Amino acid sequence: MTTVSADQVSPTKSRASRFDSPWYNAKLIVGAVIIVLAFLLEFIGPLVWDTDLARAASAPLNLPPVWVTGDLGPGFGEPSIEHPLGTESSGRDMLALLLVGTPRSLRVGFIAAGIGMFVGIVLGFSAGYLGGWIDSVIQVLADSFITIPSLAVLIVIAALVDQITIENMALLLALFAWPRPTRYVRAQVLSMRERGYVQMAQLSGASSFDIMFKEIMPNLLPYLAAAFIGTVSANILAATSLEALGLGPTRIPTLGMAIFFAISNSAILRGMWWWWGFPIMILVLIFIALFLMNIGLDEIANPRLRGV
């Protein structure tokens, strides 16, 4: 019987084994690359384009994209290479608006989701692992907040705030971003706490904090990441909804506020599709990227989905 030494192992097989990790997931990587690039627009944008053109009255009014030909009617200028995606009725350059507004819209969603997930993790772990009256109180609070029509409440609150910034918007959304992560984390912890390694940690005298956040939490990371991505999507959608109603940061360019200004200035009736079309296209791309990341994380957490 012959044996094969480590030196005789095929280098091709050795290299392939490096990519056997479930985290090398094509959907997750593609989605993450799109989101990272969208965030980097905040730093890359000023290097490739004059982002000051996103301010009102910084460019000629009502210019169509450079490839649009034909007479659009009175009030429209001629296409210009200096404004390749056109301009809107307040004199904002659409390319500059997208470069500035995309990372800011993402920032709102990620800040709100981060706060919501942090609260959800703390409350979910406490409810699922400690149980008893703590579990009952947290469940009642989470269920109560879920039944509240959050969008209606956010509309009232946003209407009462004098000046809305990106941070204010994120904090408003975070008020209703924690109940669903709390219930999700609680359900996962309830199943995890019966595992053998948790019982061994209990027998060894480990504290509840160590068991929750050093034993259980590392095994929940794919689930927590998927819940976080889902929360980001929900908060971006909620922020865009508020902004489309005119309850966003009016002085700060975002994708939702671009849609609001397009609606309020009858861009659809005037045929100015580039005013509202480009922001919607970017939002759709963001949601597709987040959806791909969510699917990828589900496949990491569930081997059956990836055919293992």
> Does residue 76 fall inside a structural domain?
no
CATH classification of the domain holding 278: 1.10.3720.10
- Model confidence over 46-75: pLDDT tens digits? 999 999 999 988 999 999 999 988 777 788
pLDDT at 306: 58
DSSP string, 189-231: HHHHTTSHHHHHHHHTT--HHHIIIIIIHHHHHHHHHHHHHHH
Query: For 17, how many CA atoms within 13 A lie in the half-sphere containing its CB?
Result: 6
What is the number of domains present in the chain? 1
Q: Bridge-partner residues for 93, per DSSP?
A: 87
- Model confidence over 180-198: pLDDT tens digits? 999 999 988 888 887 878 8
C-alpha–C-alpha distance, residues 91 and 82, integer Å: 13
> Does residue 75 fall inside a structural domain?
no
Cβ neighbours of residue 68 closer than 8 Å, sequence gap 6 or more: 79, 86, 274
DSSP string, 221-261: HHHHHHHHHHHHHHHHHHHHHHHHTT-S-TTS--HHHHHHH
> Does residue 132 fall inside a structural domain?
yes
Residue span of the structural domain in which 235 resides: 24-55+84-306
C-alpha–C-alpha distance, residues 114 and 238, integer Å: 15
- Model confidence over 137-154: pLDDT tens digits? 999 999 888 888 877 888
> Does residue 69 fall inside a structural domain?
no
Kindly report the pTM of this predicted structure.
Answer: 0.85
